[in-house]
Amino acid sequence: MEDCIFCKIIKKEVPADVVYEDDEIIAFKDIQPAAPIHILVIPKKHIASLAQLTKDDETLIGRIYTVINEVASKQGVKERGYRVIVNCGEDGGQEVGHLHFHLLAGKKLGEKIV
Ligand code: 5GP
Ligand code: ZN
């Protein structure tokens, strides 16, 4: 996607603090961290939002959760715990139109909505 900031990060056109990368998935530190550890785990395939997923993406999404666990382990927070958030669409508060999973950890996280 031409003007997608996360696609630019994938193509290394925009710098990011990458903590994990393979053929299909990349994870990097959020530029405005909301917790001591705030990492975005994203598919390299440009999927605009959770709402745009298709059946073909099921394996990929499963792999993303495996990567999230690996990253949490590497960051040393697997035992204490973490939170994974996906914002979807306008009401969901999504600002970047490329599917991403927020991994938040490193402190007792604030108020739960659900
Ligand atoms: P959303 O609100 O769409 O769920 O989350 C988008 C996230 O992307 C925000 O937490 C924001 O700080 C992060 N973000 C936006 N632009 C950039 C960028 O250029 N680099 C990095 N590392 N994070 C970004
Ligand atoms: Zn993109």
- pLDDT band of residue 112 (cuts 50, 70, 90) is confident
- The string of pLDDT tens digits covering residues 41-53 is 999 999 999 999 9
Strand extents, DSSP E, 30-98: 37-43, 83-85
Integer Cα distance of 105 and 96 in angstroms: 21
**Residue 35, Cα to own-chain centre: how many angstroms?**
14
50 in contact with ligand 1, CB cutoff 6 A? no
- pLDDT for 106 equals 97
What is the rounded average pLDDT for all residues in the chain? 97
pTM: 0.97
Ligand 2 centre to CA of 10 (Å) is: 8
Residue closest via CA to ligand 1's atom 21 equals 31
| Spatial contact of 53 and 61, defined as CB atoms under 8 Å apart | yes
Mean pLDDT of 75-90: 97
- pLDDT for 83 equals 97
In the chain, where are the structural domains located? 5-105
Q: Name the residue with tokens 């917790």.
A: 35
- The string of pLDDT tens digits covering residues 11-52 is 999 999 999 999 999 999 999 999 999 999 999 999 999 999
Ligand 1 centre to CA of 81 (Å) is: 22
- pLDDT for 29 equals 98
Mean pLDDT of 72-95: 97
Q: Domain spanning 5-105 has what CATH number?
A: 3.30.428.10
